[in-house]
């Protein structure tokens, strides 16, 4: 089964998944928060997901950021809609900056680098890779 990660935002949710063997994290999509549940239900018709990883927004002093309340609402929605899939939170500090740097290093054209959806998806991949690396130890 796959692991799925979310980089939650009030305008977009970046989504990443592992392969079924849970070796590689890949960007899946970027979805508007209002459409996420329908998207997931459709996805689950063909794929099995064992666990959700959700980025936990924190400030530098480790306190919750302003967007934490929105993420908490999203986690509650996931728990309510998919009670059989556990949700884990993972510190997401710096994932957007790391995603932007990775996109730049990847040689993506300047106009494409402005695509915030790409940054959100890559952020979800970085989040999922971080979770996988922590689990490996």
Which phi and psi angles does 24 have, rounded to 5°?
-120, 135
Q: What is the pLDDT of residues 88-134, one digit of tens each?
A: 998 866 565 555 555 555 555 555 545 566 667 878 998 898 888 88
Mention the CATH class of domain 2-136.
alpha beta
Spell out the domain ranges in the chain: 2-136
Query: Tell me, what's the pLDDT at 8?
Result: 92
Dist. CA 92–CA 70, nearest whole Å: 14
Name the residue with tokens 């952020």.
Answer: 123
Dist. CA 125–CA 67, nearest whole Å: 20
Query: Tell me, what's the pLDDT at 84?
Result: 96
> Which carries the bigger pLDDT value, residue 87 or residue 94?
87
Tokens of 9: 């935002």
Contact residues for 90 (Cβ-Cβ < 8 A; gap 6+): 5, 53, 54, 55, 56, 127, 130, 131, 134
């Amino acid at each position: 089964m796959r692991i799925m990660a979310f980089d939650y935002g009030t305008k977009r949710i970046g989504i990443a998944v592992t392969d079924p063997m849970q070796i590689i994290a890949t960007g899946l999509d970027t979805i508007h928060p209002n459409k996420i549940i329908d998207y997931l239900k459709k996805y689950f018709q063909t794929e099995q997901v064992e666990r959700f990883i959700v980025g936990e927004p924190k400030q530098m002093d480790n306190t919750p950021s302003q967007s934490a309340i929105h993420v908490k609402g999203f986690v509650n929605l996931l728990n309510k809609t998919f009670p059989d899939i556990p949700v884990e939170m993972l510190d997401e500090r710096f994932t957007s900056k790391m995603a932007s740097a990775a996109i730049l290093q990847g040689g993506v054209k300047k106009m494409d680098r402005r695509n915030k959806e790409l940054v959100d998806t890559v952020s979800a991949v970085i989040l999922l890779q971080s979770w996988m690396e922590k689990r490996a130890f």
